[in-house]
A and B are shown apart, each in its own frame.
Chain A
Amino acid sequence: MPSGGDKTRTGEDGRARARDVERALDHEFAVICFCWDGTAVPHPESDASAVRSRVERLTALGVDIAVISSDGVREVDGQLRARPGVEGRLFLYLSGGSETYVVGPSGPRLLERRQASSLEQQRLDETAQALRERLTAAGIRADVVEDRLNRRCVDLAPDLTGSPGPAPSELRGEVDRRLRRAGFPGGIRECVELARELARDAGLPHVAISGDARFIDIGLTGKGDAMHSVARALVAGRGRRSRDVLVLGDAFGQSSDGQGSDAAMLVPELRRAVFVSVGTEPDGVPPQVLHVGGGPVTFLDILHDQLAMREVVAERSFPTPTDDPAWRFEVKGFDPFREREVETWLTVANGETGTRGALEEGSAISTPATFVAGVFGDGTGDPAFRQPVPAPDWTGLRLLVAGSPLTLSNGHIIDHERVLDLRHGVVYRTWRQRLRSGRTVRVRTARFASLADRQLMAVRAEAVPEDFSGLLVWQSAIGVTHAGGPTKETEFEVLEDPPGLVASTRGRNGGGHVLAVTTNPAPGSPVARTPQQARDVIAGRLEQGDPATIDRLAAIVSARTRVPSAEVARRALERARDTGFDELLRRHRAAWEAAWDAADLRVDGDVDDQHALRFAIYHMISTAHPDKDTVSIGARGLGGMSYFLHVFWDTEIFVLPFFIYTQPETALTMLKYRYRNLPGARQKAQHMGFRGALYPWESADKGVETTPPYGYGPSGEQIPILSGLMEHHISADVAWAVWEYWKATGDDAFMASMGVEMLLETARFWVSRAALDDDGRYHVRVVVGPDEYHEGVDDNAYTNVLARWNIKRAFEAVSWLEGFDPDYAEELKRRLDITATELTDWRDVVDRYVTGFDPETLLYEQFAGFYGLADVPFEKLRPRPMAADLLLGRDITLVSKVVKQADVVMLCHVLADEIDEEVTRANYDYYEPITSHGSSLSPGIHAAVAARLHDVDEATAYFKMAAAIDLGDNMGNAAAGLHMATMGGLWQAAVMGFCGIMRRGEALRLDPQLPEAWQRVRLPLRFRGSRLHLDIRSRKKGVDVGITVERVPVTLQLDGVDREFSPGRHRLRRRNGEAWQVETL
């Protein structure tokens, strides 16, 4: 620690003083206050990243930080830019104590502002002007700076401007000389006294006045006020002692300029605090202040020491998962039969990358892999068959115990458990193994893909020799991924700084990745690093019970058309290294907590259902990218190679609603992906001889059709794949998503700039897709609907009704745009070459579109001729779910009334705004018994519709069927990826079905029908600019709903009537099926 010197002290005094400083600072302070300019940073333009890092890490460790400055929030926060993981640790006392901000993950928030009265303003002006006039009369040019809150500054040397300008000592000397020449022998100090007199004369007897090298500062408040606030709020208010407060400044001392401006911080209620000056203090410091000097460099050292004291303690404590069982997804033991499923379940992902939860040390049955969203290459050489380019594997860690590798098959497993902490997105592993050698080793790991910095991933690993002392060696390697895919080549190189390794992969005719990894001993661990070719080796001789702990940090950078430079990855890794594992973890956990605050669905009463919902929400959040519109959510997420990360209708119809109603910003990004790929959709329509936009059934990076024309069946036989050719409802599905997003968010900007164009182009496709037949009706022939057991059918109801709806909404949208932005509406129509004649033709088509609806029976015929197909006894379709085409034979299902998945029922769900309960009931009753649920998309939607129809028991059974698709003991479906549509379907079943919350126009209908076991559901929602918190409680003969509305009013539809609810708390009650009773609290 550098130690400054007082003018008068001797060498011995100096040494004693240094010891005093060291003793005083060898203490973990609970509150650290410091002045900004001059103390923390040398000048307003300097780089404050080192301060930021220390501040964020200290706040993460529970230290309160108070920054004190006479500048405003724009200047100080703009330079500091610290973003603690939680709000309530970092405070900015600005504008000379007139404003207080608290800083959280999303930035500063004003807590308090002193606002001067007009009379005070006038008196401040009078004081400043009087001083300026006195100086001018003496021949000194001075300016008054007025744009400061509650303050005026008199600039004594406006001609000495420039950045950074002269050094303070030079400036002070020059200003003093000028003042003395002009008849102010006391220099700046005299000016300060003069200002105080003038203020008293103006009626401001308690004004705070200070002077530095250039400015005389006249303020209603000062640093003393800031310190009073600190003492009140952070010390007394939080039960702390003043001796636990450290105050750092740079100008406490009396000087020729007058009293140092920081002396005002010496408030009596903090008399036992430690005050330290890092300034030059040429005239010494008050006795209660320790002078160390050294400026901002010393300041950083002091913060570093504070940090080190705590981190030594913190790092001894290995991170652990939450104890709350409702947030823990546990996998106990080791079952080789299920290991690939386990790997998928335990995927850590962040929308950019997804890393399977494979064993770090690997095994013969492990399939470690990291997938990167949106980066594809040509799979089998066919440009139309795009496959993701897997990234190099970063997870491999091997532990040698006295030369013997630690694996699950070496000796026997004493204990093995993996826990996915759903709340924080971290996979923890604990493992005890008795090796064949008789030694027992305990291992812990914690792994995550950062949600706060999406290029970064990290794992901490610890090994403890439980019953021996000896050599432990961690070997960490990177290698070629096990995931296969179109990887053309993998290259490796050694990295010097940070010390580590780099590997790159490149796809054929596509993108590539660069992975950079550094592995280092964790602080305090008695192991050392030894770089070798292609791996890092960290080793040490450990005493029994001592942990060998390492941190492995990884960065992946990717590009869609090339391999990025290694330097980009190195810089990302450097960022990770500088931040450190603990801080990366803290930020990651904070980001997850924020995500859950917006999306958690809390169910009391059924642990399994709660787990299934949180598991689904965890994977939906971790698979989505909130601001990268080159990617969207693939059908199997980021945890498996199956479905090649291709984007299907699953995304818009099943997953997107979750984001629309919880994180609309992410929903917008997902829709932008479709807008971005509109050219590909136009191209597909054109290639097939149609107009407008036909979205590809499977979409990758280019937005063109990537469905293979053929695949392979159960015994390797080649089978034709018709979905890319015939499953056209995807275009209406995308249009539906556009409309749903717009209606649920009110995002007119999106609708005007993108949505209307998407609706028009998809509508245009549907007009061209329909053919006028002799019956005078428009038919859509040769399609595949959601029920893929029946291919090449005519007039699939789901397709046709949604297509007609699409065209109608296009009319509405263009009409809306003509009012919202007439110029752009004209420009858009001109650009798309849409004429009034064409729109008239569309109206004719809409009126005559075949829907298959029979007003007598209220049924939609699933497709033309469906009623004429053969009946299959219901008992042949049990137990469900079942792959009926496999069991009965495709030749049977083709000609039978057997439905693969919700088709007409799906239609009733997505158009619930238009298809009433009576029609829905009729169709559900008809189609439900003949649906085999041979698709993962089906049970969740049946649960939602059954709940809407008040068939709660049946809905509950379907909900559990959906939950079992990824988690069931004997399904085996999750090994190559999770079913994202099922997860979205579960959320829809819970929210739209059981909670009965569905959009009706621009209102939310509320009609809860909770399963018998669900006692209470709590959830946040976003709707049309409003934030809602709903608390639904099941009562003996009804239901209570507590609603908190934030920001703007929201319209709820209760018993068919729209009713507006203002921001605030409301209580709704319904008993015995009677009307809602509403109470505003």
Chain B
Amino acid sequence: MTLLVAVADAAADREVVRSARALAAAARWEVRGVHVREATLPEPASADLEGLELTAVDGDPVEALERLVGGTAVDAVAFGLSCSCQSGPSVSGLGHVAEALLNNQVAPVLLVRPGMRTPTGLRRLIVPLEGSPSTSAAMRVADEALCARGREIVMLHVVTGDTPDETGSLPAPRIMDQEHYEWSAWQEEFTMRFSTCPEGGRHRVAVRVGDPAQVIAGEADEVEAELLVLSWSGSFESGHGAVIKELLSTAPCPLLLVPSGTG
């Protein structure tokens, strides 16, 4: 597996590189760097990027990255949300490069905003799950790449009152006859249904009630999570992706967005 770190501005993207290195180390992925060069930006200095060698890619950054990710050599991308990448038209307000990358996403994308907590050993990560099969891709990637002894994966289910209609969904119980039996049974089933972690991993199910973005960000802050792994439907249109959009500006740690169809 190869994680491609797309650097636009060496000074601004140093945290992206560090986060990417931490994720790659935990997942046992290789890291490659690429400089997506917009005409207005300066050349990055390799020394600033802790020895990561960058390959320069000329031309439109969106097209260049899509070409790279669409090829067979790249399995995931890391990208910074520094102000320098926010030129161009954007529906989400994330910047046209990030938005284009997410809208056409075929591989997991690590997004890092300046000021986010930089992961080190990835001792704890959170996977928010709404309880439907189609949104559990994030959990499969987390299990396959990051499930390991000494690392806790928090399966965070936020109860909103909305219930997914999809067959096979398991939201928090809508009925609760005797809670001392129901919760343990639900947790066991929730874990079996959405986690395929091999032996050695440590999973914890957490249930919270409220606005998903606020709850997720709050939980990440409280438990000092180093990474949020989320399933991503691939569109900000028509109000989609509101939770992720909000988290990109409020989460205390980087986000790994996994396309719903992968994993």
Residues of A at the B interface (CB closer than 8 Å) are 335-338, 340, 364-365, 367, 635, 640, 642-644, 648, 708, 710-716, 719, 721, 723, 879, 881-883, 885-887, 889, 933-937, 965, 969-973, 975-977, 979, 981
User: What class of interface size applies to chain B in its complex with A?
Assistant: 35 or more
B207 and A715 form a contact (CB under 8 A): yes
Complex CA gap A935/B192 in Å reads 24
B172 at the A interface (CB under 8 A): yes
17 contacts between A and B (CB under 8 A): A338-B167, A367-B192, A642-B182, A715-B208, A721-B179, A721-B180, A885-B176, A886-B207, A935-B176, A936-B177, A965-B175, A969-B166, A970-B164, A970-B165, A970-B167, A972-B189, A973-B173
Known contacts A711-B179, A712-B184, A975-B185: A886-B171 contact under CB 8 Å: no
B188 at the A interface (CB under 8 A): yes
Known contacts A338-B167, A969-B169, A972-B189: A716-B204 contact under CB 8 Å: yes
| A residues less than 8 Å from B204 (CB atoms) | 716
B148 at the A interface (CB under 8 A): no
| A residues less than 8 Å from B187 (CB atoms) | 714, 716
B168 at the A interface (CB under 8 A): yes
Contact of A969 among B167, B176, B206, B207 (CB under 8 A): B167
A711 and B184 form a contact (CB under 8 A): yes
| A residues less than 8 Å from B171 (CB atoms) | 970, 972
Complex CA gap A905/B130 in Å reads 34
User: Residue of B at shortest CB range from A876?
Assistant: B161
| B residues less than 8 Å from A711 (CB atoms) | 179-181, 183-184
A714 and B175 form a contact (CB under 8 A): no
| A residues less than 8 Å from B174 (CB atoms) | 881-883, 934, 971
The 3 lowest CB-CB distance pairs between A and B, nearest first, are A711-B180, A337-B168, A714-B207
Complex CA gap A719/B178 in Å reads 12
B185 and A887 form a contact (CB under 8 A): no
A713 and B178 form a contact (CB under 8 A): no
| A residues less than 8 Å from B120 (CB atoms) | none
Minimum distance in angstroms from B218 CB to a CB of chain A = 14
Minimum distance in angstroms from A965 CB to a CB of chain B = 7
Complex CA gap A473/B188 in Å reads 34
B74 at the A interface (CB under 8 A): no
Report B224-261 CB contacts with A as 1/0, cut-off 8 Å.
Answer: 00000000000000000000000000000000000000
| A residues less than 8 Å from B193 (CB atoms) | 336-337, 340, 972
Complex CA gap A1054/B164 in Å reads 47
Minimum distance in angstroms from B152 CB to a CB of chain A = 13
Known contacts A886-B172, A887-B209: A643-B178 contact under CB 8 Å: yes
| B residues less than 8 Å from A336 (CB atoms) | 193
| B residues less than 8 Å from A972 (CB atoms) | 169-171, 173, 186, 189, 193
| B residues less than 8 Å from A721 (CB atoms) | 178-180
User: Residue of A at shortest CB range from B156?
Assistant: A715
B44 at the A interface (CB under 8 A): no
Query: DSSP majority for the A interface?
Result: loop
| A residues less than 8 Å from B163 (CB atoms) | 879, 970
Known contacts A365-B192, A883-B173, A971-B174: A719-B179 contact under CB 8 Å: yes
Complex CA gap A872/B227 in Å reads 38
B133 at the A interface (CB under 8 A): yes
**In residues 190-226 of chain B, which contact A (Cβ within 8 Å)?**
192-193, 196, 204-209
B175 and A934 form a contact (CB under 8 A): yes
Complex CA gap A337/B136 in Å reads 11
B69 at the A interface (CB under 8 A): no
B207 and A935 form a contact (CB under 8 A): no
Complex CA gap A935/B167 in Å reads 22
B159 and A887 form a contact (CB under 8 A): yes
Known contacts A881-B175, A937-B177: A335-B161 contact under CB 8 Å: no
| B residues less than 8 Å from A935 (CB atoms) | 175-177
A889 and B181 form a contact (CB under 8 A): no
B176 and A708 form a contact (CB under 8 A): no
| B residues less than 8 Å from A710 (CB atoms) | 180
Minimum distance in angstroms from A398 CB to a CB of chain B = 21
B192 and A712 form a contact (CB under 8 A): no
| B residues less than 8 Å from A716 (CB atoms) | 187, 204-205
B180 and A719 form a contact (CB under 8 A): yes
A975 and B189 form a contact (CB under 8 A): yes
A712 and B173 form a contact (CB under 8 A): no
Complex CA gap A716/B155 in Å reads 13
Minimum distance in angstroms from A1027 CB to a CB of chain B = 35
Minimum distance in angstroms from A892 CB to a CB of chain B = 11
Complex CA gap A882/B175 in Å reads 6
User: Residue of B at shortest CB range from A727?
Assistant: B178
B133 and A337 form a contact (CB under 8 A): yes
Complex CA gap A492/B210 in Å reads 52
User: Residue of B at shortest CB range from A885?
Assistant: B176
| B residues less than 8 Å from A338 (CB atoms) | 167-168
Complex CA gap A721/B188 in Å reads 20
User: Residue of A at shortest CB range from B166?
Assistant: A970
Complex CA gap A886/B160 in Å reads 10
| A residues less than 8 Å from B164 (CB atoms) | 970
Minimum distance in angstroms from B182 CB to a CB of chain A = 8
A887 and B189 form a contact (CB under 8 A): no
In the complex, besides A936-B175, A972-B171, A976-B189, 4 extra interface pairs with C-beta distance below 8 angstroms are A335-B168, A721-B178, A887-B209, A981-B177
| B residues less than 8 Å from A643 (CB atoms) | 178, 181
Contact of B206 among A715, A723, A883 (CB under 8 A): A715
| A residues less than 8 Å from B185 (CB atoms) | 640, 642, 975-977
Minimum distance in angstroms from A973 CB to a CB of chain B = 7
| A residues less than 8 Å from B161 (CB atoms) | 882, 887
| B residues less than 8 Å from A642 (CB atoms) | 181-182, 184-185
| A residues less than 8 Å from B166 (CB atoms) | 969-970
Complex CA gap A711/B178 in Å reads 10
| A residues less than 8 Å from B133 (CB atoms) | 337
| B residues less than 8 Å from A934 (CB atoms) | 174-176
| A residues less than 8 Å from B169 (CB atoms) | 337, 969-970, 972
A883 and B175 form a contact (CB under 8 A): yes
Complex CA gap A710/B184 in Å reads 13
B177 and A886 form a contact (CB under 8 A): no
Complex CA gap A969/B207 in Å reads 21
Complex CA gap A716/B186 in Å reads 12
| B residues less than 8 Å from A719 (CB atoms) | 179-180
| B residues less than 8 Å from A367 (CB atoms) | 192
Complex CA gap A336/B195 in Å reads 11
Complex CA gap A721/B180 in Å reads 7
User: Residue of A at shortest CB range from B184?
Assistant: A712
| A residues less than 8 Å from B170 (CB atoms) | 337, 970, 972
User: Residue of A at shortest CB range from B198?
Assistant: A364
Complex CA gap A648/B179 in Å reads 14
Chain A CB within 10 Å — which of B175, B188, B196 has the most?
B175
Minimum distance in angstroms from B262 CB to a CB of chain A = 17
Minimum distance in angstroms from B88 CB to a CB of chain A = 40
Complex CA gap A991/B214 in Å reads 49
Complex CA gap A934/B182 in Å reads 12
Contact of B209 among A365, A635, A886 (CB under 8 A): A886
| B residues less than 8 Å from A969 (CB atoms) | 165-169
| A residues less than 8 Å from B182 (CB atoms) | 642
Known contacts A337-B168, A970-B163: A933-B175 contact under CB 8 Å: yes
User: Residue of B at shortest CB range from A648?
Assistant: B178
Report B131-165 CB contacts with A as 1/0, cut-off 8 Å.
Answer: 01100000000000000000000000001010111
| B residues less than 8 Å from A977 (CB atoms) | 185
A335 and B179 form a contact (CB under 8 A): no
| B residues less than 8 Å from A937 (CB atoms) | 177
Known contacts A338-B168, A340-B192: A973-B175 contact under CB 8 Å: yes
B206 and A889 form a contact (CB under 8 A): no
Complex CA gap A712/B178 in Å reads 11
Complex CA gap A887/B204 in Å reads 21
Minimum distance in angstroms from B185 CB to a CB of chain A = 4
| A residues less than 8 Å from B206 (CB atoms) | 714-715
| B residues less than 8 Å from A933 (CB atoms) | 175
A712 and B183 form a contact (CB under 8 A): yes
